[in-house]
Amino acid sequence: MTDNTTRLDHVVLWARDPIAAADFYEKAVGLRPVRLTEYASGQVPFPSVRVNEETILDLMPLTMAERMTMVPGAADSAGHPVNHVCLSFEAADFEELRARLEERGVPVSDISYDSFGARGMARRSFYFRDPDGNVFEARHYA
């Protein structure tokens, strides 16, 4: 990729068990694991899941908190999820995601309509939590 315009590259989520988290994101959300085998064998410090060709979610083990020294107080963020992360899907994928989550007994919110986002007004959206308590919004625009 040679286009260097500003984009969202990755979001780091704290995970109690990154392997279980990756399994959830793969099987319930439909995101492909990245570096999972390398993480399981101890070659890399955390796995990720791919949102699209240019964005990933890193699944940082809580045990890494003490090593977060890049800015004062960074280690204190362990266990404090962001308000929520929103993933945008095509309408059919949105329906499939909701069905997979319900199949697995993952609580989902009611559907909301016409909520504002990065691409304007989304037709429908709903919320769910991952196994570590992070809140996600799923939406579609068309």
Give the distance from CA 69 to its chain's centroid: 23
Name which of 52, 72, 57 is nearest 14 in CA terms: 57
Residue predicted with more confidence, 47 or 6: 47
Q: Measuring CA to CA, how many Å separate 6 from each of 3, 9, 54, 82?
A: 9, 9, 11, 21
Q: Which of 11-25, 56-70, 91-105 is predicted with the least confidence, judged by mean pLDDT?
A: 56-70
How confident is the model at residue 81, as a pLDDT?
60
> Which single residue is written with the structure tokens 């793969």?
26
- pLDDT, the chain, mean: 90
Neighbours of 132 (CB within 10 A): 18
- pLDDT confidence bin for 30, thresholds 50/70/90: very high
